[in-house]
């Protein structure tokens, strides 16, 4: 919950995370280089670098895209999500290595500026229709790599919470959804590039499997979310909406419910039920899937804290989550459909033994 | 149960979660290993060819600028070797070596070689010396004329093909081939036979002029008609007609 641009705290878990990332990268790159040299003894160092970095980058991109939905489906994946920023920055560095080497190798030392040549060497290939035929197999592939690299750069450069703050959460979020555009761009880059030169079904096959896994996980996660949203409407009376049973909210735990079409987080802390917005002020994580830790609601994504009584982050932090009045009626939790004024103290509703 | 809630800024992850995270990492390692191994193993093997980058050798012989820049070297035992000449980077015969057609020259350069075909990259202007006019013996044509042919193949740049670049053909290399051809590297036609054999035929224009062509045809299949001659270890085609092959778009 940093409010200023300061050095990132380094703790043991972060070191373990980065060490694991480094180890997996070394494993992938090492295997790639070793096997390439075996099956292709004439391969050059430049080609090994270009291909090794791009293959690792593409794999890492798939991991990054899968972690989000996996964590929504099963909290066991949350430890992979916490430092996802490091994955994004690493992805950018790998993609930069690949793009820079490819640009130097294929464009430098010629009669045109390499950065211009990347886009212009293909000349008339940009015409989608040529001679009444579709020109796709000849359509330039490198510009799609350039676009993806640019997007990875934007996201890596703004990944620190400082930028999340300064750009505003919704703009930041929208910009970081650019990862899907970048993914699409990389798929086109590979399909129009290396797939036009390499024969055999293995490369298109792997890309297709990757796409199906990414898309499938996103659909499954979305399905789980909409199951909450599609819950059958319960009672509504004098500004309160009926939600779950009291027993559904265990002590120290949260639960996501639907109130007037909106997801709300319920928590039970020291025998009292509290209701807050489900959208974390940090990156919009699902607060209701969190826990009470040391008396504070704790977001499952990066552990931001909010006090259940007023939705405020404990000092010195200044974030505020909306709170809602609650009441208990016939063993069910009812939540007021209109939020309390920010920071207003709200004691919650005591659960009496039933 | 409260134990297995993960908070990243704590120093330790709860033991039960740590165990499952370790299992996840092992699974991820297996996926990473499997996929990278598969991709590495299935890439098509790089072509042979050497580029003695950073190594310079001495060459002496008769410089021929047109239609294809070559050095004809006669060794003391009378053996004749033709070297195709290119410049540094993505360039053809450099300016310092031009204008000396038919003269004896000596220079230092870097060898690019694939099979019997040897190219020399002229990258050392200081070493370039004009020694004087060539002798009659050196000028005796040792070329072997084959006759009129029609060949279809991929338009490549000879410098990359003979050893500088992998891959040196096809779409991923197309932009590079455009740059090299546009920079004056001599064009070649990569002709393949049914048995998987391949040969690059150097292309020149009629009347001992360099070939005039559209560099946008780089890495495309083109059809070339003309007279074929062996000049040393290089088959050379004096092109009278050049067109995109039927299978290509304009
Ligand atoms: C400036 C940007 C980029 C340029 C100029 C570029 C250029 C190239 C070139 C020339 C190839 C063919 C190389 C070969 O087969 O030897 C290639 C392949 C590839 N590129 Fe890029 N690329 C760029 C950005 C990216 C980005 C951001 C990614 C994302 C991960 C990416 C992923 C790949 C992959 C997976 C391949 C196929 C494997 C390979 O051949 O390396 N590229 N790229
Ligand atoms: S989204 Fe990051 S802590 Fe909630």
> CB atoms < 10 A from the CB of B128, how many?
17
How remote is the CA of residue A145 from the centroid of ligand 1, in Å?
6
Q: Does A354 touch chain B (CB under 8 A)?
A: no
Q: Are residues B217 and B157 in the same domain?
A: yes
Q: Are residues B123 and B151 in the same domain?
A: no
Burial class, A335, CB count within 10 angstroms (exposed 0-12 / middle 13-18 / buried 19+): buried
Written as one string, the DSSP assignment of A106-171 is HHTTSSS-HHHHHHHTTGGGG-SEETTEE-GGGS--HHHHHHHHHHHHHHHHT-SHHHHHHH-HHH
A104 Cα to chain B: minimum distance (Å) = 10
Residue B230 belongs to some domain of the structure: yes
Q: Is the pLDDT of residue A154 over 80?
A: yes
**pLDDT band for position A280 (cuts 50, 70, 90):** very high
Percent of chain B at pLDDT > 90 equals: 76
Res A3: pLDDT: 46
Q: Are residues B131 and B167 in the same domain?
A: no
A1 secondary structure, DSSP code: -
Q: Angle, to 10 degrees, between the axis of helix A142-157 and the axis of helix A84-107?
A: 140
Residue of B nearest to A79 (CA): B6
Nearest to B178 among A29, A121, A130 (CB): A121
Partners of B95 on chain A (C-beta within 8 Å) are none
How remote is the CA of residue B185 from the centroid of ligand 1, in Å?
25
Res A251: pLDDT: 93
Q: Are residues B81 and B152 in the same domain?
A: no
Q: For testing the chain B interface, which of A15, A42, A52, A207 should be mutated: the one with the most B CBs within 10 Å? A: A42
- Helix, strand or coil for residue A187? helix
Residue B13 phi/psi, 5-degree rounding, is: -90, 145
Res A169: pLDDT: 85
Res A261: pLDDT: 85
Nearest to B36 among A28, A108, A200 (CB): A28
User: What are the helix (H) ranges across B11-67?
Assistant: 15-42
Interchain CB distance below 8 Å, B40 and A106: no
Which token pair is B51? 């580029």
Residue B66 belongs to some domain of the structure: yes
- What's the pLDDT tens digit per position in A210-241? 999 999 999 999 998 888 777 777 888 889 99
Residue B36 belongs to some domain of the structure: no
Which token pair is B229? 């001659």
Q: Is the pLDDT of residue A1 over 70?
A: no
Its sign, for the CA torsion A66, A68, A74, A76, is positive
**pLDDT band for position A4 (cuts 50, 70, 90):** very low
Residue of A nearest to B45 (CA): A40
Which of the ligands is closest to the CA of residue A305?
2
> CB atoms < 10 A from the CB of B199, how many?
16
Listed by number, the residues of chain A in 111-130 with a beta carbon closer than 8 Å to a beta carbon of chain B are 111-112, 117-118, 121-124, 130
pLDDT greater at residue A97 or residue B47: A97
Q: For testing the chain B interface, which of A19, A35, A270 should be mutated: the one with the most B CBs within 10 Å? A: A35
Residue B162 belongs to some domain of the structure: yes
Q: How far apart are CA B178 and CA B214, in angstroms?
A: 9
User: What are the helix (H) ranges across chain B?
Assistant: 15-42, 136-139, 158-159, 174-182
Res A137: pLDDT: 86
Q: Are residues B240 and B147 in the same domain?
A: yes
Q: Are residues B174 and B204 in the same domain?
A: yes
Instruction: Pick the last residue of a domain from B139, B155, B171.
Output: B139
Q: Does A105 touch chain B (CB under 8 A)?
A: yes
Q: Are residues B148 and B235 in the same domain?
A: yes
B146 Cα to chain A: minimum distance (Å) = 33
* Stretch (H or E) spanning B8: none
Q: Are residues B157 and B123 in the same domain?
A: no
Q: Are residues B151 and B229 in the same domain?
A: yes
Determine the average pLDDT of the residues in B109-138.
93
Q: Is the pLDDT of residue A340 over 90?
A: yes
Residue B209 belongs to some domain of the structure: yes
Res A353: pLDDT: 61
Q: Are residues B169 and B237 in the same domain?
A: yes
Res B140: pLDDT: 66
**pLDDT band for position B3 (cuts 50, 70, 90):** low
Q: Are residues B158 and B239 in the same domain?
A: yes
- What's the pLDDT tens digit per position in B175-218? 999 999 999 999 999 999 888 889 999 999 998 899 999 999 99
Partners of B92 on chain A (C-beta within 8 Å) are none
pLDDT greater at residue A4 or residue B231: B231
> CB atoms < 10 A from the CB of B55, how many?
10
Domain span at B163? 143-248
Q: How far apart are CA B184 and CA A111, in angstroms?
A: 9
**8 A C-beta contact, residue A111 and residue B180:** no
Q: Is the pLDDT of residue A6 over 50?
A: no
Interchain CB distance below 8 Å, A197 and B41: no
CATH number of the domain within which B124 lies = 2.40.50.140
User: What are the helix (H) ranges across chain A?
Assistant: 12-39, 45-73, 78-81, 84-107, 114-120, 142-157, 161-167, 169-176, 178-192, 194-197, 202-229
Judged by average pLDDT, the poorest of A107-111, B82-86, B138-142 is B138-142
A110 Cα to chain B: minimum distance (Å) = 5
* Count of CA atoms in the C-beta half-sphere (13 A) of A162: 9
Interchain CB distance below 8 Å, A105 and B32: no
Partners of A300 on chain B (C-beta within 8 Å) are 5-6
pLDDT greater at residue A352 or residue B236: B236
Instruction: Pick the last residue of a domain from B139, B161, B194.
Output: B139
**pLDDT band for position A293 (cuts 50, 70, 90):** very high
Nearest to A206 among B20, B35, B249 (CB): B35
Residue with tokens 């920071």: A343
Q: Does A57 touch chain B (CB under 8 A)?
A: no
Residue B12 belongs to some domain of the structure: no
Determine the average pLDDT of the residues in A118-125.
92
Residue B179 belongs to some domain of the structure: yes
**8 A C-beta contact, residue B32 and residue B24:** no
- With CA atoms as reference, report the closest residue to B222 among B162, B165, B177: B177
Residue of B nearest to A252 (CA): B2
Q: Angle, to 10 degrees, between the axis of helix A45-73 and the axis of helix A84-107?
A: 150
Cα A165 to Cα A168, A276, A283: the distances in Å are 5, 22, 10
Percent of chain A at pLDDT > 70 equals: 96
- What's the pLDDT tens digit per position in A230-277? 777 788 888 999 999 999 999 999 999 999 888 999 999 999 999 999
Q: How many helices (H) and strands (E) does chain B have?
A: 4, 12
Instruction: Pick the last residue of a domain from B76, B105, B139.
Output: B139
Residue B39 belongs to some domain of the structure: no
**pLDDT band for position A161 (cuts 50, 70, 90):** confident
- Ligand 1: atom nearest CA of B175 is 10
How many domains, chain B?
Answer: 2
Q: Is the pLDDT of residue A318 over 60?
A: yes
- Say yes or no: CB of residue B172 within 6 Å of ligand 1: yes
Q: Are residues B122 and B171 in the same domain?
A: no
**Mind listing the domains of chain A with CATH numbers?**
12-228 (no CATH), 236-350 (2.102.10.10)
Q: For testing the chain A interface, which of B28, B32, B52 should be mutated: the one with the most A CBs within 10 Å? A: B32
Determine the average pLDDT of the residues in B27-31.
97
CATH number of the domain within which B207 lies = 2.40.50
């Amino acid at each position: 919950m940093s409010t200023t641009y300061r050095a990132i705290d380094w703790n043991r878990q972060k070191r373990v995370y980065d060490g694991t990332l480094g180890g997996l990268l070394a494993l992938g790159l090492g295997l790639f280089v070793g096997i390439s040299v075996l099956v292709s003894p004439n391969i050059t160092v430049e080609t090994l670098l270009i291909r090794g970095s791009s293959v690792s980058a593409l794999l890492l991109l798939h991991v990054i895209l899968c972690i989000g939905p996996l964590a929504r489906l099963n909290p066991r994946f949350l430890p992979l999500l916490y430092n996802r920023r490091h994955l994004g920055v690493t992805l950018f560095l790998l993609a930069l290595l690949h793009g820079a080497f490819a640009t130097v190798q294929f464009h430098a030392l010629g009669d045109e500026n390499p950065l211009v040549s990347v886009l212009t060497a293909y000349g008339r290939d940009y015409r989608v229709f040529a001679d009444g035929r579709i020109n796709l197999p000849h359509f330039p592939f490198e510009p799609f790599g350039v676009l993806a690299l640019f997007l990875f750069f934007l996201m890596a450069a703004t990944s620190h919470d400082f930028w999340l703050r300064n750009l505003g959460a919704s703009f930041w979020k929208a910009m970081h959804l650019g990862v899907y555009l970048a993914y699409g761009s990389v798929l086109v880059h590979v399909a129009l590039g290396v797939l036009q030169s390499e024969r055999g079904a293995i490369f298109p096959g792997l890309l297709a499997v990757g796409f199906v896994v990414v898309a499938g996980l996103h659909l499954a996660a979305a399905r789980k979310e909409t199951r909450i949203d599609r819950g059958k409407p319960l009672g509504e009376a004098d500004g309160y909406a009926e939600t779950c049973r009291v027993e559904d909210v265990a002590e120290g735990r949260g639960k996501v419910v639907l109130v007037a079409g909106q997801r709300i987080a319920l928590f039970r802390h020291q025998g009292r039920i509290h209701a807050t917005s489900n959208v974390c002020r940090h990156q919009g994580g699902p607060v209701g899937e969190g826990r009470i830790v040391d008396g504070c609601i704790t977001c499952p994504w990066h552990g931001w804290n909010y006090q259940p009584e007023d939705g405020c982050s404990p000092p010195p932090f200044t974030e505020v989550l909306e709170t809602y009045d609650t009441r208990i009626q016939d063993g069910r939790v009812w939540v007021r459909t209109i939020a309390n004024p920010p920071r207003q103290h709200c004691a919650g509703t005591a659960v009496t033994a039933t | 149960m409260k134990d297995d809630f993960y908070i990243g800024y704590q120093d330790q992850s709860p033991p039960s979660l740590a165990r499952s995270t370790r299992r996840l990492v092992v699974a991820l390692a297996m996926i990473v290993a499997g996929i990278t191994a598969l991709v590495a193993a299935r890439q098509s093997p790089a072509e042979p060819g050497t580029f003695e980058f950073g190594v310079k050798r001495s060459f002496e012989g008769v410089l021929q600028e047109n239609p294809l820049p070559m050095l004809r070297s006669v060794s003391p035992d009378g053996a004749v070797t033709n070297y195709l000449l290119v410049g540094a980077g993505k360039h053809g015969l450099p300016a310092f070596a031009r204008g000396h057609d038919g003269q004896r020259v000596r220079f230092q350069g870097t060898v690019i070689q694939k099979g019997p075909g040897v190219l020399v990259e002229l990258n050392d202007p200081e070493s370039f010396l004009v020694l004087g006019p060539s002798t009659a013996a050196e000028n005796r044509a040792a070329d072997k004329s084959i006759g009129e042919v029609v060949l279809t193949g991929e338009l490549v740049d000879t410098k990359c093909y003979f050893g500088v670049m992998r891959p040196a053909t096809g779409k991923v290399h197309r932009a590079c081939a455009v740059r090299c051809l546009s920079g004056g590297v001599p064009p070649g036609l990569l002709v393949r036979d049914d048995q998987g054999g391949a040969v690059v035929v150097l292309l020149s224009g009629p009347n001992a002029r360099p070939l005039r062509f559209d560099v946008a045809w780089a890495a495309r299949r083109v059809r070339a008609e003309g007279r074929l001659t062996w000049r040393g270890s290089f088959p050379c085609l004096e092109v009278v007609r050049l067109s995109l092959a039927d299978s290509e778009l304009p």
